[in-house]
Amino acid sequence: MTTGKINVSVENIFPLIKKFLYSDHEIFLRELISNGTDATLKLKHLTSIGEANVEYGTPIIEVKIDKEGKKLHIIDQGLGMTADEVEKYINQVAFSGAEEFLDKYKDSAKDSGIIGHFGLGFYSAFMVAEKVEIITKSYKDEPAAHWTCDGSPEFTLEPTDKTTRGTEIILHIAEDSLEFLEEFKISGLLSKYNKFMPIPIKFGTKSQTLPKPEDAPEDYKAETVEVDNIVNNPNPAWTKQPTDLSDADYKDFYREVYPMQFEEPLFHIHLNVDYPFNLTGILYFPKLGSDLQIQKDKIQLYQNQVYVTDNVEGIVPEFLMMLRGVVDSPDIPLNVSRSGLQADGAVKKISNYITRKVADKLKSLFNENRADFEQKWNDIKIVLEYGMLSEDKFYEKAGAFVLYPTVDNTYFTLEELKEKIKEKQTDKDGKLVVLYAGNKEAQHSYIEIAKEKGYEVLLLDSPIISHLIQKIEGDNSGLHFVRVDSDHIDNLIKKEESAISKLSDEEKESLKTVLETIVPKQTYTVQLEALDSEAAPFIITQPEFMRRMKEMSQTGGGGMFGMGNMPEMYNLVVNTNSDLATSILNNNDKSAQENLVKQALDLAKLSQNLLKGEALTAFVKRSFELIK
């Protein structure tokens, strides 16, 4: 038997491991199973190239709980180690790795992802164990070794009688970590971290009913047998070629990753690249609607099928964080801080690749089945619009598949829309005017007036639409978006001809004076316009520029400083060619004149859904008075 002291300059490194990595103490199991997996895959490689003259077989990793003995066992059938290798990898390499790690990362260890270097993962065992044993036999024809360490720098190393190849790690669970002897706890950790590990993982056994024989009698009783309870899927969908998977396979995998998700995904994108970096994965578009406050952190990051995190910020472009799925890459440096990760060149390339791949997939879906793509548009548009705003590379490609729906449920790309409206919606200055509504119900009367003129009206109702149309206008000179209620339709698309006013300039001035004494100045600016005599006498509009800046300020990242808190301001457009304008002007009874103005203003407010509360009650009462 050998006894010795691990050469370590940090005074008692074990409390340091526990202290600095404690927030992540559950990952010890992931680390130990990862080491067992590595040992098994290395053996597979050595047998395949003829360097190990042993039968690889069908190895598994087993996790066993000994509740009475307060022990947790992790057993693999991999390479195993000789006594010399234990001395080298456990006492020297791993410990110097642990010391180096703590020295480098003790300020940011909680943010460091996987613990990293070979062997260091093994020492995470001391976060939950007061003593650790390794019983190991190498695939080489050498005696088995038994290493024991009680969390101090002292260890013992002696021969043992293990006859089967592989390594068994025994954790003597500490009093403050007894939760790790509970079956539900270990089962939960295996499901979280090891669900898709490449080697089968056994955790206990389960009963399985044998199939009924074809010639079984009527009173046949089904037989049950105890079989290994394999808790993982060693060959998940993302490790296969897209050509080997059907739509049903992708949907099954979605349910495997998200068992509590009942709605089916709209479509998927299979990522598969091996140069200039290695990346595989599957991303799914769930139904999203128009809500920006969707729970992120639904994409899972793996490194060689080992679960790492669901915080994929920096790796997956921000606009795609609302998607679901799995990304797996051995090239992501997981033992650096989050800020270091975002600055990493390989990570930037991965993020750009994912952006391009998603754009290409969307384009092919659009081209292959446009009707289906249109049907799904409202469920995915928020991600795509956000992508256009936040990623220039995505914006460049988006013209091929981003849609602009009309209030009549027809869909155009931007180029198709320009072509469709250029004849009727080009104003006298040659500017192409795109009319849109934000709410089909609230702006119904304005939409109808525009449609009577033969104009197309888009329905753009995302919370970030003001930011997006600002960007589109900046990139398309001569194109101007205006909401359909931002002015009278004749002012929104000005043509050469302008109506002649029935009222003289003097009469208009008198009318304006009357109106301004009755209409509240703090909310409305009175504008007199000579419109068609059939047009509404009073129309409330909200100037496009002011409203857009206010919306952009409220949703962040644009607009004008302080505008988000400004009160709502409207224009009151009064049609001087209407009979009502003449009636108001010629009415000498001040009280009757005031009632006419208030009634007309309230009707205009009603059409804009602005009449509420006390004002609505007063309007209803006044209206009943008028029809007595």
Question: For residues 77 and 15, which has the higher predicted lDDT (pLDDT)?
Answer: 77
CA nearest to 380, candidates 288, 303, 265, 505: 288
- How far apart are alpha carbons 289 and 337 in whole angstroms? 34
Residue bearing tokens 């993302």: 238
- How far apart are alpha carbons 53 and 31 in whole angstroms? 28
Q: What is the pLDDT of residue 113?
A: 36
DSSP string covering 407-462, please?
A: TTS-EE-HHHHHHHHTTTSB-TTS-EEEEEES-TTTTHHHHHHHHHTT--EEE---
**Among the ranges given (65-79, 403-417, 604-618), the one the predictor scored with the smallest mean pLDDT:** 604-618
Percent of the chain surpassing pLDDT 90: 43
Q: What is the pLDDT of residue 552?
A: 81
Q: Which pairing describes strands 524-529 and 570-575: parallel, antiparallel, or unpaired?
A: parallel
pLDDT digits (tens, 9 = 90+) for 420-471: 999 999 998 899 999 999 999 888 989 999 999 999 999 999 888 889 999 9
Q: Which two tokens stand for residue 47?
A: 């047998």
pLDDT above 90: residue 80:
yes
pLDDT above 90: residue 73:
yes
**Phi first, then psi: what are they for 479, rounded to 5°?**
-110, 135
pLDDT above 80: residue 96:
no
pLDDT digits (tens, 9 = 90+) for 472-511: 999 999 999 999 988 888 888 988 766 788 888 889 898 9
Q: Which pairing describes strands 299-303 and 324-328: parallel, antiparallel, or unpaired?
A: parallel
Which ranges of 128-265 would DSSP assign to H, the alpha helix?
Answer: 183-193, 247-257
Helix axis angle for 505-518 and 590-607, nearest 10°, is: 80
Name the DSSP class of 91. Answer: I
Q: Where are the beta strands (DSSP E) in 85-191?
A: 129-137, 144-149, 154-160, 166-173
pLDDT above 90: residue 368:
yes
Q: Which two tokens stand for residue 253?
A: 């995998």
pLDDT above 60: residue 627:
yes
> Does residue 39 contact residue 79 with C-beta atoms inside 8 Å?
yes
pLDDT above 50: residue 112:
no
Taking the CB of residue 406, how many other CB atoms lie within 10 A of it? 19
Q: Starting at the earlier edge strand, list the strands of the sheet with 71-75.
A: 2-5, 154-160, 144-149, 129-137, 166-173, 71-75, 61-66, 201-209, 224-230
The gap from C-alpha 559 to its chain's centroid, in whole angstroms, comes to 25
Residue 336 banded pLDDT, cuts 50, 70, 90: very low
Q: Which two tokens stand for residue 176?
A: 């403050």
CA nearest to 155, candidates 314, 54, 4: 4
Question: For residues 110 and 499, which has the higher predicted lDDT (pLDDT)?
Answer: 499
Residue bearing tokens 């790796």: 315
pLDDT above 50: residue 338:
no
